[in-house]
Amino acid sequence: MDMRFPKEFLWGGAVAANQCEGAYNEDGKGLSVQDVLPHGIKGPVTKEPVSENMKLVGIDFYHRYKEDVKLFAEMGFKVFRTSIAWSRIFPNGDEETPNEKGLQFYDNLFDECLKYGIEPLVTISHYETPLHLAREYDGWTNRKMIGFYERYVRTLFSRYGNKVKYWLTFNEINSILHSPFMSGGICTPKEELSEQQLYQAVHHELVASALATKIAHEMMPHAKIGCMILSMPVYPLTPAPDDVIVSLKEEHKNDFFGDVHVRGKYPGYMLRYFREKGISIQMEPEDKEILENTVDFVSFSYYVSACGSADPAQKAGPGNIIGGVPNPYLKASEWGWQIDPQGLRYTLNRYYDRYQLPLFVVENGLGAVDQLEKDDQGELTVFDDYRIQYLRDHLIQIREAIEDGVPVIGYTAWGCIDLVSASSAELKKRYGFIYVDRNDDGSGSLKRYKKKSFAWYQNVIHTNGESLNEN
């Protein structure tokens, strides 16, 4: 069958500022929560930045972005997703005026992208809350965060409105339930945090996201603004109705976030959950109206699927921040994340059935240990056929979903250049088409090398996906 990607399909790659830029204290940047998380979500949080924290240097993208953007352009990227490090713009997060040098960096970066016809796709907040906001206000548990975020987004929209068309409000907004410090800047230890506090923080983020959407629509009528959800389909482990209902409830925990962003109000199943748990969200009179500012598209990350089971003996396995009961039919990556390309087609269909909005796959990829080797010409490269296989299988499923009638506007492969892992803070968990010579002990020249997947992806983009038919 002759299946195609749309002509305007946005092919590209994705990174986040804190995982690649480094330069953690340069040009006036303040500290972010990442600067005190040397081991990722496992913790612990350090008092000060410590040199073993790989993110302090990252892959030195801050100084090498020109070389890297050139490589993205060589692959044919139409879009490049990155985040803005909030603490470069507002070092503490609560000051009145922004840091000009921080603003200038992103002007330069976006200009560099536009020079090659690459559209920037910007995540406003990607796990990099200014540390001061975390320590002083306990992050998003505090309603004042909405005001700080509002000032930050107004600054971004007025500065970059003529350069950036696609915006995402919060990376994987639902991850706050699982990783409150990294995702929500919440210092109260997770064990001490009540669901009441957690969902109050969620409410503040949802209001802030809707407010950003409202402001974006007012300030940049041509811009498109989306939510970003950590997706993980939950299949019933067995056809037992109890397993089906458990899986539905697991799905609801994540769907809640997309539902509010798209439908503009809290869904009934969540109100029931709050009632039954004795949770009462404090809402201000204006919140209801603010939440009605709904997004233009829905974006999400997709790495894993999982199963739901009513049997308490079934334990959750590893996953992308969230895990679930392992699926006996699937294999896993070296980090135990189960690989399920069809789950991506399923997710795209499910989201479109639910939302009827354009969808953007803004993260997907394989974290693996790579080996630098010499090719026939004696050039150093990585023969990453496993990554090519993973990406091909997922892209074929996107094409299936498009064939199913789902409007998918783009795909940005996660970690298009090797970077520091969010969950484990390792560099050896590599995702890129471009290898970066840096190791977890801090050694390495930071030189860039094209992996085998570089030319493969270049060809996928060049043929608008037709080359996926080849073996």
Q: Which of 119, 172, 251, 400 is catalytic?
A: 172
Burial class (CB in 10 A: 0-12, 13-18, 19+), 9: buried
| 423 lines the binding site for ligand BGP (CB under 6 A) | yes
Please identify, using beta-carbon distances, which residue of 424 and 464 lies nearer to ligand BGP: 424
Binding-residue total with ligand BGP (CB under 6 A): 15
Tokens of 307: 């199963």
| 172 scored as a contact of ligand BGP (CB under 6 A) | yes
The Cα 292–Cα 202 span in angstroms is 16
By CB under 6 A, tell whether 99 contacts ligand BGP. Answer: no
Kindly state whether residue 414 participates in binding ligand BGP, applying the rule CB under 6 A. Answer: yes
Q: 448: part of which helix (H) or strand (E)?
A: strand 448-450
Query: Is residue 301 near ligand BGP by the rule CB under 6 A?
Result: yes
**292 counts as catalytic:** no
Of the candidates 231, 260, 261, 288, the one whose C-alpha atom is nearest the C-alpha of residue 269 is 260
Asked if 128 touches ligand BGP (CB under 6 A), the answer is: no
Tell me which residues in 27-86 interact with ligand BGP (CB under 6 A). none
Binder among 34, 171, 381, 458 for ligand BGP (CB under 6 A): 171
Stretch (H or E) spanning 367: none
Q: How far is residue 187's CA from residue 183's CA, in Å, rounded to a whole number?
A: 11
What whole-number distance in Å separates Cα of residue 251 and Cα of residue 244?
11
Sequence-separated (6 or more) residues with CB below 8 Å from residue 57: 22, 24, 438, 442
Determine the interface stretch with ligand BGP among 30-38, 45-53, 210-218, 422-430 (rule: CB under 6 A).
422-430
Tell the residue number behind the tokens 């969010």, with chain if given.
422
* Cα dihedral across residues 404, 409, 413, 419: positive or negative: negative
Pairing of strands 306-308, 166-170: unpaired
- Token look-up 């006036």 returns 28
Question: Is 363 designated active site?
Answer: yes
Name the one residue in this structure whose structure tokens are 């306990």: 138
Q: What is the per-residue binding string for ligand BGP in 183-222, x denoting contact by CB under 6 A?
A: ----------------------------------------
With binding defined as CB under 6 A, does residue 321 bind ligand BGP?
yes
Task: Answer for the pair 297, 358: CB distance below 8 angstroms, yes or no.
Answer: yes
SS3 category, 356: coil
300 binds ligand BGP (CB under 6 A): no
Would you count residue 429 as binding ligand BGP (CB under 6 A)?
yes
Closest to ligand BGP by CB, 171 vs 453, is 171
- Of the two residues 172 and 205, which places its CB atom closer to ligand BGP in the complex? 172
> Binding segment for ligand BGP among 65-73, 74-82, 211-219, 421-429 (CB under 6 A)?
421-429
Contact between 19 and 422 (Cβ < 8 Å): yes
Binding mask 367-406 for ligand BGP (x = CB under 6 A): x---------------------------------------
- Smallest gap, in angstroms, from Cβ of residue 420 to ligand BGP? 8
The three-class DSSP label of residue 188 is coil
Nearer to ligand BGP, 200 or 305 (CB): 305
Site residues (vs ligand BGP, CB under 6 A): 16, 19, 171-172, 301, 320-321, 363, 367, 414, 421-424, 429
Q: Which residues are known to be catalytic?
A: 172, 363
